Amino acid sequence: MKEILLQGKEISKVFVGGGENVPILNRVNVRIFKGDFTVIMGASGAGKSTLLYSLSGMDDITGGRVEYKGRKINGLSEKETARLRANEFGFVFQQTHLVSNLTLYENILVAGYVGKCRPKEVRRKALALLAQMRVGEAKNRLPSQVSGGEAQRAAIARAVINDPGLIFADEPTGALNKAGSEEVLNLLSALSEAGQSILMVTHDVRAAVRGSRILYMEDGSIADELTLPAYRAADAKEREEKVTRWLSSLQW
Amino acid sequence: MEVKILLKAGIKQHRGVLAGIFVLVLLVSLFLGTVLTVWTNSGSYMRHELNRAGFGGLTAWVSGAPDVNALAGQAAALHDVERVEVQRLIFSNYITNGQESDSEGQLISVASGDRRYRFFTDDLTGYLDELPEIATGEVYVSPSLISMFDVKIGDAIDFPLARNGGTVSLTVTGFYEDPFMGSSMIGMKSFLISGDEADEMLQVIQNAGIDALARSGAMLHLFQREDSTAAIAELNGSLNENTSLPEFTEFVHSSDAVSGFMLILQNAFCGLLLAFVLVLLFVVFAVLGHSIASAIEADTVRMGVLKTAGFTSSMLRRIQLLQYAAAILPGMLLGILLTRPASRLVSSATITTTGLRVPADVPLGLCLGAFAAILLLLAAFILLKTARISRIMPMKAIRGDMERSPFRPEKWPAVNGENLSISLAVRQLATGRRKYLSACVTAILLVFFVSMIVRMNAWLGADGKGMMDAFNPADHDIGIQSFGELTREEMERMILEHTGITDTYVLAMPGVTVNGVDFTANVIDEPERFHLMEGRTCLNGDEIVITEFVAADLGVAVGDSLTVGADLGIAEYVVSGIYSCANDMGQNVGMSREGYLKIGYDSPNLWCRHYFLADSSKKVAITGKLEAAYGGDVHIHENTWPGLFGIISAMEALLSFLYIIVVFFILVVTVMTGSRILSAERRDTGIYKAVGVTDRRLRISFSLRFGIAALAGSIIGAALASVFTDPLVSAVMKLAGISTFASRLDAASALLPVVAVVTLFAGFAYLAAGRIKRTDLTILITE
Q: Which residues of A touch B410 (CB under 8 A)?
A: 140
For residue range B659-697, list pLDDT tens digits in order. 898 898 899 989 988 988 898 889 999 999 999 999 999
C-alpha B367/C-alpha B38 separation (Å) is 12
Per-residue pLDDT tens for B572-617? Answer: 999 999 998 877 767 899 999 999 999 999 988 889 999 999 998 8
DSSP state for residue A34 in the 8-state scheme: T
Q: Residue B484 phi/psi, 5° resolution?
A: -145, -125
Decide if B280 contacts B666 (C-beta within 8 A): no
pLDDT at B1 over 70: no
| pLDDT higher than 90, residue B655 | no
For B150, half-sphere exposure in the C-beta direction (CA atoms, 13 angstrom radius) is 4
- Mean pLDDT score, B558-564: 95
DSSP one-letter code for A137: G
Residues B394, B395, B399, B405, CA torsion sign: negative
Q: What is the pLDDT of residue B406?
A: 66
Q: Residues B708-734: what's their mean pLDDT?
A: 88
Percent of chain B with pLDDT over 70: 97
Mean pLDDT taken over chain B: 88
Mean pLDDT in chain A?
A: 92
Q: Alpha-carbon distance B636 to B621, whole Å?
A: 12
Ranking A186-200, B35-49, B228-242, B364-378 by mean pLDDT, the lowest is B228-242
CATH class (in words) of the domain with range A4-88+164-249? alpha beta
pLDDT for residue B324 = 94
Say what the pLDDT of residue B632 is: 67
Q: Is the pLDDT of residue B400 over 90?
A: no
**Average pLDDT estimate for A235-239:** 90
User: What is the gyration radius of the CA atoms in chain B, in angstroms?
Assistant: 33
pLDDT digits (tens, 9 = 90+) for B197-210: 999 999 999 998 88
The closest CB to that of B409, out of A94, A112, A142, belongs to A142
Average pLDDT over residues B275-285: 90
Kindly state the percentage of chain A with pLDDT values over 90: 75
Which of B395-404, B482-491, B495-504, B726-735 has the largest mean confidence? B495-504
* One-letter amino acid of B9: A
Task: Show me where the domains of chain B are located.
Answer: 1-58+248-401, 94-213, 421-468+641-783, 469-640
Please tell me the distance from the alpha carbon of residue B73 to that of residue A134, in angstroms, as a whole number.
Answer: 109
Q: Is the pLDDT of residue B737 over 70?
A: no
pLDDT at B218 over 70: yes
Q: B259 near B46, Cβ under 8 Å?
A: yes
What is the nearest CA distance from A170 to chain B, expressed in angstroms? Answer: 8
pLDDT, residue A44, reads 86
Question: Domain locations in chain A?
Answer: 4-88+164-249, 96-163
The most confident of the ranges B49-58, B63-72, B182-191, B624-633 is B63-72
Residue B697 is predicted with a pLDDT of 94
Instruction: Enumerate the residues of chain B whose CB falls inside 8 A of the CB of residue A43.
Output: none
Q: B415 — contact with chain A (CB < 8 Å)? A: yes
Closest Cβ opposite residue B684 in set A78, A82, A99:
A99
Contacts (Cβ under 8 Å, ≥6 apart) of B551: B557, B575, B578
Residue B403 has pLDDT above 80, yes or no: no
| Any A CB within 8 A of B410 CB | yes
Distance (Å, rounded) from C-alpha B21 to C-alpha B31?
A: 15
- CA atoms of A182 and A210, how far apart (whole Å): 11
From CA B574, how far away is CA B538, in angstroms rounded?
A: 9
Instruction: Determine which of B144-148, B524-528, B552-556 has the lowest per-residue pLDDT on average.
Output: B552-556
pLDDT at residue A224 in the model: 95
Express each pLDDT in B107-120 by its tens digit: 999 988 888 899 99
A101 contact partners, CB below 8 Å, separation of at least 6? A142, B407, B409, B427, B428, B430, B431
What kind and span of H or E run contains B564? Answer: strand B561-565
Chain B CB within 8 Å of residue A140 CB: yes
The nearest CA of chain A is from the CA of B402 a distance in Å of 13
Q: Which residues of B touch A99 (CB under 8 A)?
A: 684, 687-688
**B740-753: average pLDDT:** 81
Amino acid identity, position B103: S
DSSP B627-655: HHHHGGGEEEEES--HHHHHHHHHHHHHH
Confidence of residue A70 (pLDDT cuts 50, 70, 90): very high
Where does B232-284 show beta strands of DSSP type E? 249-254
Distance of CA B583 to the CA centre of its chain: 17
> Higher-confidence residue: B294 or B127?
B127
CB pairs under 8 A between A and B: 107
Give me the mean pLDDT over the A186-197 stretch.
94
Stretch among A9-18, A153-162, A240-249, B167-176 having the lowest mean pLDDT: A9-18
Residue B643 predicted with pLDDT over 70: no
Residues of A in contact with B778 (CB under 8 A): 53, 58-59
pLDDT of B783 higher than 60: no
Give the residues across from B577 on adjacent strands. B535, B545
Would you state the pLDDT for residue A41? 95
Q: Are B465 and B477 in contact (CB under 8 A)?
A: no
Put simply, the answer to whether B780 touches A84 (Cβ < 8 Å) is no
Whether A98 has its CB under 8 Å from any CB of chain B: the answer is yes
Which pairing describes strands B570-579 and B543-546: parallel, antiparallel, or unpaired? parallel
- Split at pLDDT 50, 70, 90, the class of B270 is confident
Provide the pLDDT for residue B739.
66
Which residues in B222-255 are b (16+ Cβ under 10 Å) and which e? Answer: bbbeeebebebbebbbbbbeebebbebbbebbbb
Q: At what angle do helices B619-630 and B488-496 cross, to 10 degrees?
A: 130
Q: Which of B69, B115, B62, B121 is nearest to B89 (CA)?
A: B62
Report the predicted TM-score, pTM, of the whole model to 2 decimal places. 0.78
pLDDT for the residue A216: 95
Chain B residues inside the 8 Å CB shell of A170: 781-782
Q: Is the pLDDT of residue A121 over 80?
A: yes
The string over A55-86, giving b where at least 16 C-beta atoms fall within 10 Å of a residue's C-beta and e elsewhere, is bbbbbebeebebbbeeeebbebeeeebbbbbb
